[in-house]
Amino acid sequence: MADLGKKYCVNCLADVTNLRLRCTDCPDIELCPECFSAGAEIGNHRRWHGYQQVDGGLFSLWGPEAEGGWTSREEQSLLDAIEQYGFGNWEDMAAHVGPSRTPQEVMEHYVTMYIHGNLGKACIPDSIPNRVTDHTCPSGGPLSPSLTTPLPPLDISLAEQQQLGYMPLRDDYEIEYDQDAEKLISGLSVNYDDEDVEIELKRAHVDMYVRKLRERQRRKNIARDYNLVPGFLGRDKKDKEKERKITKEEKEQRVRLRALCQFMAHREFEEFFENMHKERVLRAKVRELQRYRRNGITRLEESAEYEAARHKREKRKENKNVVASKRGNEGKDGEFSAIENLTGFELLSDREKVLCNSLNLSPTRYLTVKTMIIKDHLQKRQGIPGKSRLPSYLDKVLKKRILTFLTESGWISRDSS
């Protein structure tokens, strides 16, 4: 009578009370897992027929040697609980599995079997390229505490805080980015008689406000990362003195690429420019080595001798240019030797000195003629009749040369000349 409740495999007559596979096409065909996996066929039953798993919920998925003696029914309840309550809510999961399991047992069993066990090793790869973002992490997710938890206050004095309008306990400024962002939600209220359109509109306002808060926080993080506040206050001058000097070309390049600061951290931005500097140094070194090669130098030992010889050649060339310039200056000084000691020489311009020297005319006589010609020119422009009385030593050739010079220099107009 004790065997009336037992079930047996129709193929091998094994006890299948705890777990059996029932054919949905053939009546009274129940097989054990071994015969089912082997594709056993009896009578009209075929291996491609549909099947249904029937179990009493008392067998163990991990075998009799597994710790805790978890049954298949408890395993199913555990998987339902992890999907419903989420990883970490062990108390709620233990209540869902049953009173026989404590939260500690539920946690140890799930971590041991489903994460660190063979199932976890087979299903969870070592590196997941598209890992799901943990929205509770402090890295800027939608539920990130970084949006509500203020950063450590800036280390600045009270006078500097007043200058910036900075409130250290709140990590806020009197004038924030997008100062009017709070107006989006300041007048919102949820009413029971709101329609769906009104609720969605209010949600859109809240979403817009959250986006503005994220942008505000992002700008604060950039200011912290790039030390913009100490730079504004002039504190980073001492640190810049310790760094290598930046050329004018690098400064212009930094200004052009300043937009990358919002996508790169300060360390990455500095490494980027440092690598560009190293690239320029390497390119210059390559050009230098190519110049050596063009001059027939194939070893670095020969380059030192070549550079010494090149330096000597450039020195000699520079000395020759200095000597030539000195000689040119001496010749230029001797050019006016005939009139430089005469009275009024210091009153002449360089062009007037050349003119007097070429006409063999003393500076005083030239200044007298110049004054008379300009005076007559002004009287004619004012309509005053007058007759020019030039000195007797001024012939027609000298007069013409002087008039042409004064006209080209702008002292008199071309019509009067």
For the cut 70, the answer to whether the pLDDT of residue 170 exceeds it is yes
Distances (CA, A) of 343 to 335, 340, 362: 17, 8, 8
Look-up of token digits 């690098």:
250
Backbone angles phi and psi of 405, in degrees to 5: -65, -45
Residue 203 CB-density burial (10 A; 0-12 exposed, 13-18 middle, 19+ buried)? exposed
Residue 2: the pLDDT is: 45
Residue 282: the pLDDT is: 92
Average pLDDT over residues 47-51: 88
Average pLDDT over residues 9-34: 85
As a whole number of angstroms, the distance between CA 208 and CA 196 comes to 18
Q: Under a CB-based contact definition with an 8 Å cutoff, are residues 182 and 221 in contact?
A: no
As a whole number of angstroms, the distance between CA 340 and CA 224 comes to 70
Distances (CA, A) of 170 to 151, 153, 173: 9, 8, 9
Span 100-154, pLDDT tens digits: 889 999 998 888 888 888 777 887 777 766 555 555 555 555 545 555 555 677 7
- Percentage, residues of the chain above pLDDT 90: 3
Residue 1: the pLDDT is: 40
Task: Tell me which amino acid residue 335 is.
Answer: E
Average pLDDT over residues 249-265: 80
pLDDT band per the 50, 70, 90 thresholds, residue 291: confident
Average pLDDT over residues 5-10: 82
Span 335-362, pLDDT tens digits: 566 777 777 788 788 888 888 888 878 8
Q: Which of 362, 386, 391, 366 lies closest to 376, judged by CA?
A: 386
pLDDT band per the 50, 70, 90 thresholds, residue 405: confident
For the cut 70, the answer to whether the pLDDT of residue 157 exceeds it is yes
For the cut 60, the answer to whether the pLDDT of residue 242 exceeds it is no
Residue 57: the pLDDT is: 60
As a whole number of angstroms, the distance between CA 368 and CA 379 comes to 17
Tell whether pTM > 0.75: no
For the cut 70, the answer to whether the pLDDT of residue 261 exceeds it is yes
Distances (CA, A) of 104 to 61, 109, 112, 223, 307: 20, 9, 12, 46, 79
The rounded mean pLDDT for the chain is 79
Average pLDDT over residues 367-375: 84
For the cut 50, the answer to whether the pLDDT of residue 385 exceeds it is yes
- The least confident of 20-34, 253-267, 327-341, 381-395 is 327-341
For the cut 80, the answer to whether the pLDDT of residue 158 exceeds it is yes
Distances (CA, A) of 330 to 55, 162, 326, 347: 119, 66, 6, 21
Q: Which of 45, 27, 96, 97 lies closest to 68, judged by CA?
A: 97
As a whole number of angstroms, the distance between CA 126 and CA 118 comes to 13
358: tokens are 């070429």
Q: Under a CB-based contact definition with an 8 Å cutoff, are residues 340 and 346 in contact?
A: no
Residue 365: the pLDDT is: 83
Residue 359: the pLDDT is: 80
